[in-house]
């Protein structure tokens, strides 16, 4: 169970890093019904270090997840 949890978290973190690498910015807007209030859209710009750090952390967690069964048997 722990192995699958860490594998999923590592894969998610790697994919989030790849997505941050591909995106320049993300614009979050309210649905059209709520747009009558003239609320400004929220712009999210990932910092330059974020994609590489997320991918590296995700890779380390995935590699760690493969060693968990060996540690549990010892």
What is the pLDDT, as a whole number, of residue 74? 47
Of the listed ranges 15-19, 27-31, 33-37, the one predicted with least confidence: 33-37
Q: How far apart are CA 60 and CA 11, in angstroms?
A: 10
Give the residue numbers spanning the domain of 42: 2-73
Q: What is the pLDDT of residues 59-72, one digit of tens each?
A: 999 999 998 876 55
Q: CA 50 → CA 18, 19, 21, 32, 44, distances in Å?
A: 10, 10, 8, 31, 12
Q: What is the mean pLDDT of the chain?
A: 86
Looking at the 3D structure of the chain, how many domains does it have?
Answer: 1
Give pTM, 2 decimals: 0.74
């Amino acid at each position: 169970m722990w192995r699958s949890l860490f594998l999923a978290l590592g894969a998610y973190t790697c994919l989030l890093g790849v997505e941050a690498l591909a995106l320049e910015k993300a614009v979050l807007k309210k649905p059209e019904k709520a747009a009558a209030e003239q609320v400004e859209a929220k712009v999210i710009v990932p910092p330059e270090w974020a994609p590489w750090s997320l991918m590296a952390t995700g890779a380390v967690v995935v590699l760690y997840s493969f060693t968990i069964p060996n540690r549990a048997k010892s």
